[in-house]
Structure 1
Amino acid sequence: MGRVWRHIKDGITGVTRHFALSLSSISSVTVTLLLMSIFLFLSVNISTITKSMEQSVQIHAQISNDFEEKSQINEIQKQIEQLPEVLDVKFSSKENELDAFIRANDSEDAESLYGGYRGENNPMLNAFLINAKSGDEIKDLSNKIAKIEGVYKTSYGGSGTTDFLGMLEQVRNVGFIIVVTLAVIAVFLISNTIRVSIHSRRREISIMRTVGATNWYIRWPFIIEGMVIGLLGAIIPIVISIFGYQYLYQATGGILISQMFKLVAVYPLSLQISGILALIGIVVGALGSLFSVGKFLRWSR
């Protein structure tokens, strides 16, 4: 146990001994984790919004008047349900379609204008409302359904919906690339800080090796130093993550633009992301240290 505390003490001493370099590394980790925090919040909320949009976008497949027998309708439904991209299928009768049309034309005159078409005069077609498993599959699925015998016409939210879902995915991908790049830079800066620390203690390390100290015994103080740098760099991003997201959520009432764009609740999301940031900071610091110490020990054999 005493050896562990010595490693921890030496690691913390290494941070304070070269504070200017440590501060540079801490700043790099802070910037990286701040951007990573934004990316994580964006990613979680984009995933939630995308899922919500995918569930709200339905394919509307109208059935030809020549296929009004129950057995024919059941056969069309069976063929649609067998498509691997389909999540669920719901039948909508002519009457339901007319009611939906009247509701869509929400005005005082809608009922008087179109209500008389109920019954035998109903010009609407029976239809199926289909939900896809993924928003990326809506266009292809719509085309497949349109080819089924008895389907008169298919429609959905259109290219605007699929393009918007694709744009959200691109934002998430670009954010991921930026964060990974910054994480690599942070590892490099921490590695340089540890290299200076190793250089100042090279005589001590040489003596330790002479008396039989193992490589891991030599490594641990520097690994802990890197972990401390990473953890210190995570403090500001964690504080901003918790209070910043809470402020955004309260300021917007948890809704962006419309009910479709609902933010994920502050808790436990902000605490989960804070834990991830602390862990990433520690891992980045440890990696930077391992690279430097490993290179030094190989070179000094």
Structure 2
Amino acid sequence: MKVRTLWYFSREAGVGLGRNGLMSFAATATVTLSLMLLSCFYIVIANCNHFVNMAKGVLEIRVYLKDGSDPVAVQQRIAELTGVKRLRYVSKNDGAKWLEKNLGVADLFTENENPLPDMVNIKLTDDAKVKPLVQQLTALEGVAEVEYGKTFVESMLIVTRVIGVIGFGLVLIIGLVVLYIIVNTIRLTVLARRKEIEIMKLVGATDWFIRLPFMLEGIFIGLGGAFISIVVMSKGYHLLLAYIKQLAPFIPLLSERLINQGLYLIIPALGVCFGALGSLLSLKRFLRV
């Protein structure tokens, strides 16, 4: 599309918005409130995922080695596995010293009587797949047993799946409701100009020639609503963080910078999509002349 043509359609869209100021304001307000609602769900879901990742970050897998196995070779094989962030080797003698220190007992075991196995403690990456990794560790030569807090891990995985399913479902439902509201709001604007559309069709204007100004109106409305919702939600999250730090500083919410990065990417894209799609769906019936 030529710049001159785009400028023409943009100007027509601006004229249309100004001519139907009340409807345009109503549509922008609807988009703003809808995007603010979606922003709230994004903030909640993002923080829930953050909590799950933090829980995974503190999770530690313990690998107990067989007697006589080569700890260096086992550590090299473990380090090559996907999901391993770092590992720490604890010999049976170091384990005995730690136990003696915590129990307050000296010389708990003699060197030949020490029943503790050599052990490798593993820290996981944020994207680690725990169960497959445990299966790989168990199959390694020289590994006697793998301990990883099975109940906690399985509960954490269930929580992750539930959050993902509920989050996706809520965003989908809210998105459809938002689109329905926007379509009906923009339809009122289109309805007020139906005679203009009919005349344009009768004099030979193509469907896309008619659609583009309305699509740009919808995009402008969507961007306007996105801008307002980002400003409000960003400021609101800033105040929420300050309040949480005073009331419960131990709750590790996502930083304002990370939340804003997501809002800046997602909300304008949703605003443009809702505005353009709402305009197209609203015009569909009126183009049949």
TM-score range, shorter chain: 0.7 to 0.9
2:93 to 81, 92, 95: 95
Of residues 32-41 and 136-145 in structure 1, the stretch that sits farther from structure 2 once superposed is 136-145
Picking from 39, 53, 56, the partner of 1:54 is 56
Long gaps (5+) in structure 1: none
Question: Which residue is 1:41 aligned to?
Answer: 43
Where structure 2 has 5 or more consecutive residues not aligned to the other structure, the ranges are: 1-6
Residues 268/159 of structure 1: CA separation in 2 closer, same or farther (3 Å cut)? closer
Say which SS state the counterpart of residue 129 (structure 1) adopts.
strand
Change (3 A) 1:87 1:270: closer
CA distance in 2, matches of 1:89, 1:157: 17
Amino acid at match of 2:181: L
Could you list the per-position Cα deviations for residues 106-165 of structure 1 after superposition, in whole angstroms to 9, with x for gaps in the alignment?
Answer: xxxx3x32x423772644321112344567732343344334443232211332233124
Give how far 1:203 is off.
2.3
Partner of 1:292: 282
Instruction: Tell me, in whole angstroms, the C-alpha distance in 1 between the residues paired with 2:262 and 2:136.
Output: 41
**Counterpart of 2:89 in 1: which secondary structure?**
strand
Matched, 1:252 2:254: no
> Residues 43 and 53 (structure 1 numbering): CA distance in 2 closer, same or farther, change over 3 Å?
same
Shift of 1:287: 0.8
**Could you say what secondary structure the match of 2:213 adopts?**
helix
What is aligned with 1:6?
Answer: 12
Distance 1:99 1:13 in 2: 82
* Counterpart contact for 2:211–2:283, Cα < 8 Å: yes
Change (3 A) 1:252 1:116: farther
* Structure 1 position 189, deviation (Å): 2.4
Q: 2:177 is matched with which residue?
A: 185
Are the aligned partners of 1:194 and 1:222 in contact in 2 as well (CA < 8 Å)? no
CA positional deviation for 1:60: 0.4
TM-score, normalised via structure 1 length: 0.76
2:130 is matched by which residue type in structure 1?
A: I
Q: Distance in 1 between matches of 2:278 and 2:189?
A: 13
Residue 69 of structure 2 is aligned to residue 74 of structure 1: no
1:295: how far off?
4.2
User: Partner residue of 1:273?
Assistant: 263
For the residue of structure 1 that corresponds to 2:253, the secondary structure is: coil
Among 102, 107, 112, the alignment partner of 1:116 is 107
Q: CA deviation at 1:288?
A: 0.6
Q: Tell me, yes or no, if the aligned pair for 2:61 and 2:123 is still in contact at 8 Å.
A: yes
* Whole-Å separation in 2 of the counterparts to 1:26 and 1:33: 10
Change in 2 beyond 3 A, CA 1:279/1:256: farther
Q: 1:81 touches 1:88 (CA, 8 Å); kept in 2? A: yes
| Rounded Cα–Cα distance in structure 1 between residues aligned with 2:211 and 2:223 | 18
In 2 relative to 1, CA 216–50 (structure 1 residues): closer, same or farther, beyond 3 Å? same
How high is the sequence identity, in percent, across the aligned residues?
Answer: 27
Q: Report the CA distance between 1:194 and its aligned residue.
A: 3.0
Aligned-pair CA distance for 1:284 = 0.5
Aligned residue in 1 for 2:3: none
Q: Distance in 2 between matches of 1:84 and 1:3?
A: 53
Cα deviation 1:172-222 (Å, max 9, x = unaligned): 331222122222222222222333333332222222233343333312332
The aligned runs of 1:208-219 (5 Å cut-off) are 208-219=200-211
1:243 equivalent in alignment to 2:235: yes
Q: What's the CA shift for 1:86? A: 4.4
Q: CA RMSD in A?
A: 3.3
Q: Which moved more, 1:177-186 or 1:127-136?
A: 127-136
Matched residues in 2 for 1:247 and 1:99: separation? Answer: 49
- Residues 1:146 and 2:138 aligned together: yes
Q: TM-score, normalised by structure 2?
A: 0.79
Equivalent residues of 2:9, 2:213 under 8 A apart = no
